[in-house]
Amino acid sequence: MFRVTFESLRLPAPRTLSVPAGTLLIDVIRSEGLPLWWRCGHGTCGACAVTLCHDGQPMPVQLAKKERNVLIRHGFLPSSAVTGTLFEDDPAQVRLACHVAVMQDMTVRF
């Protein structure tokens, strides 16, 4: 189990949960009724954009093609990133909650 803290202006206070390893963030958000709006849950709409903060940062992360393309389309990655596979995972990098599996303690901001 990992500690995941959710922070948002849409929450009255940060919310910390114990989450099993490998759980997708979007599944935690749905099951807990957190106010992050999502539409598809399959990584195509970009509505579940979040930023992450964890002890392993900065570190390289491999994004799935679908997540990478959505982040490019929404302007969170430059169009030149279309040929890349490894990206710098840092607190400023937007990710999609439907593509992030919990593998360590982290803070999720939205």
Ordered by where they begin, the domains of the chain are 2-109 (3.10.20.30)
Query: Can you tell me whether residue 30 is helix, strand or coil?
Result: helix
**What is the Cα–Cα distance from 65 to 84, expressed in whole angstroms?**
9
pLDDT confidence of residue 39: 79
pLDDT confidence of residue 83: 86
Q: What is the pLDDT of residues 38-88, one digit of tens each?
A: 777 677 899 999 999 999 899 999 999 999 999 999 999 999 888 877 898
* pTM of the full structure: 0.92
pLDDT confidence of residue 41: 65
Say if CB 6 and CB 15 are below 8 A apart: yes
Q: Nearest to residue 110, comparing CAs of 4, 29, 8?
A: 8
Q: What is the mean pLDDT of the chain?
A: 94
pLDDT confidence of residue 84: 79
Where does residue 106 rank: exposed (0-12), middle (13-18), buried (19+ CB within 10 A)?
A: buried
